[in-house]
Amino acid sequence: MHRDQQKQAAARAALDYIESGDIVGVGSGSTVHFFIDELAKLKGKIDGGVASSIATADRMRARGITVLDLNQVGKVPIYVDGADEATHHLHLIKGGGGALTREKIIAQASEKFVCIADHSKLVPTLGEFPLPIEVIPMAQSLVGRALAGLGALPQLRADFTTDNGNIILHARNLAISNPIQMEQRINQFPGVVTVGLFALRGADVLLLGGENGVEVIR
């Protein structure tokens, strides 16, 4: 199966986790694009969705799915999003699309986080993918030095501004043997808005599209 077909299979499998009347948190990225197309088929069944990025909100509206403000909804029973890397412990690196802050907010607000991806995203240890970190622009150098202190090679994502008006630093070369500890540590650096480690609140279920169908890890 081609990579896109694997993403699509994972996206389709996520529909099984959605119940009638749910408000669905919707992540960002190419796998989520497939999910939005699938979700559109359930339009009448759900009460709407909360979007993690402007791109996601635009695609949802274009498919006729009602986009709701997180502050207006009582709870988010389910959140569906992709990942750049995932482990068997359901720890993730996210933010390849730069939407990590709103993604982390909705993940935290959700009762169940269903992560969808193709099988290539499953790794034994996080960190091969350069860790995205959203940073307040004036703190770029300060945070860069703090990351270098952890042994990372920080690099600015060129020509990119997040939906929140901030920059993204990528931390390469980070040994992430303890994702929870690393997330807590980077969270402490003044100027960091969000680190793309989703370990304190990881996924509840991982749906991985592969050659032989969709593998479920929980």
Residues that bind ligand 5RP (CB under 6 A): 27-31, 81-84, 94-100, 103
Residue whose CB is less far from ligand 5RP, 40 or 142: 40
Which position among 19, 85, 103, 128 bears the catalytic label? 103
Least spacing, CB of residue 104 vs ligand 5RP, in Å:
10
Least spacing, CB of residue 115 vs ligand 5RP, in Å:
8
Strand order in the sheet with 85-86: 85-86, 92-93, 197-198
Residue whose CB is less far from ligand 5RP, 33 or 142: 33
Least spacing, CB of residue 205 vs ligand 5RP, in Å:
15
Residue whose CB is less far from ligand 5RP, 23 or 93: 93
List residues bridging with 54 in a β-sheet: none
Q: Are residues 203 and 104 in contact, defined by beta-carbon separation less than 8 angstroms?
A: no
CA-nearest of 211, 27, 208 to 113 is 27
Does the annotation mark 111 as catalytic?
Answer: no
Q: Are residues 176 and 127 in contact, defined by beta-carbon separation less than 8 angstroms?
A: yes
Q: Are residues 118 and 210 in contact, defined by beta-carbon separation less than 8 angstroms?
A: yes
Q: What amino acid positions are annotated as catalytic residues?
A: 103
